[in-house]
Amino acid sequence: EDDNVQRIVNGESDDDPVDEEIEESDEEDPDSFLTAPEWTITTSGMRPIQFTRSDTLLVPVPGDGAPFDWFNLLIDDVFLESICRYTNDYAIEVYFKPSLTPKSRINRWKPLTVPELKVFNGLILHMGTICLNRIQDYWKTDPMFDLKYFRQSMSRDCFLLILRCLHCSKVTGDGPKESSVHKVQHVVEYFNNKMLNVYYPQKELSLDEAMVLWQGRLHFRQYIKGKRHRYGVKLYTLTEHQGLILKFLVYAGSSDKVVGGKGHTEKVVMHLLKEKLGNGHSVYMDNFYNSYSLSSRLLAHKTYSTGTLRQDRKLSPPEVK
């Protein structure tokens, strides 16, 4: 059971992953409702759009405003309690597996609590500042290692047990799954709703994407040529100019029920901007997203768009072809 101790997300199938070159596969929706525009280099007739909101915190400053107070605001106990509940449910499922051996660590499982989960999260974050080859090395007593803080905070076996059973969604067994990303969807929805309720951003927004490195089996693992991490899970993000993420989406491949299929990039943009439309925002993007069709849709929702443009986009100015 410990072979998978460092695996956080598992695929839905043992089949080899189907890697998609998503930057090359997007197709625009038919633009039959759009007529060819008359392009001009003058901007005098540009429609002014007033920004009707202001960037502001929507809740009181937590506690004394210390970093840990902000962390508790964003990662609250209600959310952590749900993670504990899902993890404990999965631990019970593992415990009753017929293949379980008498010496398995799961026999020593105790129900996970919120304080323990906070310690576990703290150790995970601390591991990012002290990089060792194996998780077990953080608990070594050898003078070359001897990181007392880890041993004093949580036993090695307890940490590995939590890592083995950590779950962010309901245990569904062999039944039908709501989506390919159902195991992390609870986290995605929690974060997006939390950011929506605690902060409203400034006028200028940015659309970006990120690759989460993943070399294991996952049927919606992506392949992007030219990236440092070519294989992984693709995230689409809506951010402020300084990088603060306001909303994100885990892309589940061409079969994604929310943004998959034709018009993929427009679906991504409209999904990420859903709660911000009509308020006069200016959105910046690269040529993966930008098109005349998308700009027209955003303008209809009182939203400016700025970005580079691919030569093969429909109804583009002849000067860029």
pLDDT, one tens digit per residue, over 69-118 is 999 999 999 999 999 999 999 999 998 888 888 888 888 999 999 999 99
Task: Tell me the C-alpha distance between 18 and 256, whole Å.
Answer: 14
According to the model, what pLDDT value does residue 259 have? 78
- Identify any residues that bridge with 57 across adjacent strands, giving them in sequence order: 199
Tokens matching residue 15: 């089949």
Give per-residue pLDDT as tens, 63-75. 999 999 999 999 9
Confidence class of residue 1 from pLDDT cuts 50, 70 and 90?
Answer: very low
Higher pLDDT, 257 or 265: 265
Structure token pair of residue 217? 């089996």
Statement: 22-39+47-55+201-320 belongs to CATH 3.30.420: yes
User: Residues 303, 207: contact at Cβ < 8 Å?
Assistant: no
Identify the H or E element spanning 318.
none
Residues 6+ apart with CB under 8 A from 222: 19, 20, 22, 211, 231, 232, 233, 234, 251, 253
Using alpha carbons, select from 9, 17, 10, 8 the residue that is nearest to residue 219.
17
At residue 315 the predicted structure's pLDDT band, cuts being 50, 70 and 90, is: confident
Q: Tell me the domain boundaries of the chain.
A: 22-39+47-55+201-320, 61-165
DSSP character string of 256-284: -TTT-STTHHHHHHHHHTTTTTTS--EEE
Give pLDDT, residue 6: 34
Q: Which of 91-95, 103-107, 147-151, 250-254 has the lowest mean pLDDT?
A: 250-254
b/e sequence 89-107, b meaning 16+ C-beta within 10 Å: ebbeebeeeeeeeeebbbe
Give how far the C-alpha of residue 121 lies from the chain's centroid of Cα atoms, to the nearest Å: 18
Q: What is the pLDDT of residues 224-234, one digit of tens each?
A: 676 666 778 88
Q: Residue range 199-219: average pLDDT?
A: 84
Mean predicted confidence (pLDDT) in 278-307:
94
13 pLDDT above the threshold of 50: no
